[in-house]
């Protein structure tokens, strides 16, 4: 290991925005709306992003392997034929093994890229004043991925990072980390 990466391990807490869950939820609602000819619609969709925790192990001074676990919740109102039917909560639990390569290491600055392939467990719950609808649930196991086009980490043992990519971690992902 080089002096730049005397530490072999890294832990990271992060938040990602515009994730595969966001994109899937948006297009899923559009498709259902089209199939029902506007009979099913949603409104007031909110999410504060995908919250994640990562562990990384440096195989070499530049190549690291690791994993992500994350949770994202998307809440929205659902309407059938123009009448509010209730509120839907979608929870996305993701487990994502990853690889990353630091191609620039300049003191306290590191630039890197990476990929990850894994799974997401999706759970949906409907709360409604209609007893026939309230408590309706759905779930599914889905393939998920992430491509980190470019990431930048500043700091040595303690650091902050910002990543641009696409997938489970979002188009924009920011985090705080500690190397030991």
Q: How many CA atoms lie within 13 A of 125 on its CB side?
A: 6
pLDDT of residue 59: 96
Per-residue pLDDT tens over the stretch 1-34? 444 446 899 999 999 999 999 999 999 999 988 9
Instruction: Give CA separation, 156 vs 45, 131, 132, 151, in Å.
Output: 39, 56, 56, 15
As a whole number of angstroms, the distance between CA 19 and CA 172 comes to 9
Written as tens digits, the pLDDT of the chain (180 aa) is 444 446 899 999 999 999 999 999 999 999 988 999 988 899 999 999 999 999 999 999 999 999 999 999 999 999 989 999 999 999 999 999 999 999 999 999 999 999 999 999 999 999 988 887 778 899 999 999 999 999 999 999 999 999 999 999 999 999 999 999
Residue located via tokens 């930048």 = 152
Q: Is the pTM here over 0.95, yes or no?
A: no
Q: Which domains does the chain have, with CATH numbers?
A: 3-179 (2.40.160.20)
As a whole number of angstroms, the distance between CA 70 and CA 52 comes to 4
Per-residue pLDDT tens over the stretch 52-64? 999 999 999 999 9
Token readout for 152 is 């930048």
């Amino acid at each position: 290991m080089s002096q730049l990466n005397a530490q072999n391990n890294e832990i990271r807490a992060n938040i990602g925005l515009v994730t595969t869950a966001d994109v899937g939820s948006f297009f899923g609602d559009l498709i259902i709306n089209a199939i029902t000819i506007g009979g099913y619609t949603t409104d007031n969709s909110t999410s504060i992003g995908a919250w994640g925790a990562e562990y990384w192990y440096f195989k070499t001074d530049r190549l690291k392997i690791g994993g992500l676990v994350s949770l994202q919740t998307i809440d929205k109102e659902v309407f059938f034929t123009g009448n509010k039917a209730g509120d839907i909560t979608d929870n996305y639990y993701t487990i994502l093994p990853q690889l990353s390569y630091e191609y620039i290491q300049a003191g306290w600055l590191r630039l890197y890229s990476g990929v990850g392939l894994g799974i997401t467990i999706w759970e949906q719950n409907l709360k409604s004043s209609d007893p026939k609808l309230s408590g309706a649930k759905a779930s599914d196991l889905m393939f998920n991925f992430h491509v980190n086009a470019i990431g930048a980490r500043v700091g040595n043992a303690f650091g902050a990072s910002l990543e641009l990519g696409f997938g489970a971690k979002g188009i924009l992902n920011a985090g705080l980390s500690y190397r030991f």
